Amino acid sequence: MNKKHKLDAFTMAEMLVVIAIIGILYSLVMPNQSSAVSAAKSLEAKSMLNQVYAYQKNHFYTHSKYSASLDDIDFEQERLVSEGGGANYRISIIDASNSGFTAQAEAVTDFDGDGTFNVWTIDQNKNLQEVTKD
């Protein structure tokens, strides 16, 4: 009656090997995921800068000049994530004259943790470009 039953189970060594393999696979996949996150977030910057472009063109057709003020073109900056909102980019007009403008979207969050913040610009010719890659 006193028979000992042997339970099937994994040894500690087997568990450690599996955890090590999972860790290696995770470290290979994570860098690819952070670039995908940055690419997805940059869509926000492109969208907002295209909106600024449209507002600037409307302002130009009405006043024959571009505006240096976001308020003048009726662009309303969404609250930033750093202020409890949802926007990841701060929009600003860095140059405006009678013949052109340059607007900028600068990230307020370092998406991949490398210390570099993503920056995009757009001008009166709708040249949208990434100035600083994150």
**Domain residue spans in the chain?**
12-132
pTM: 0.74
Q: How many angstroms from the chain centroid is the CA of residue 84?
A: 16
Evaluate whether 53 touches 122 at the Cβ level (below 8 Å): yes
In 3D space, the residue among 128, 102, 117 whose CA is nearest the CA of residue 41 turns out to be: 117
pLDDT digits (tens, 9 = 90+) for 41-51: 889 999 999 99
pLDDT digits (tens, 9 = 90+) for 49-90: 999 999 999 999 999 999 999 999 999 999 999 899 999 999
Quickly name the fold that domain 12-132 has.
Answer: Glycoprotein, Type 4 Pilin (3.30.700)
Other Cβ atoms within 10 Å of 124 Cβ, number: 18
Report whether pLDDT(35) > 80.
no
pLDDT digits (tens, 9 = 90+) for 83-134: 999 999 999 999 999 999 999 999 998 887 788 899 999 999 999 999 998 7
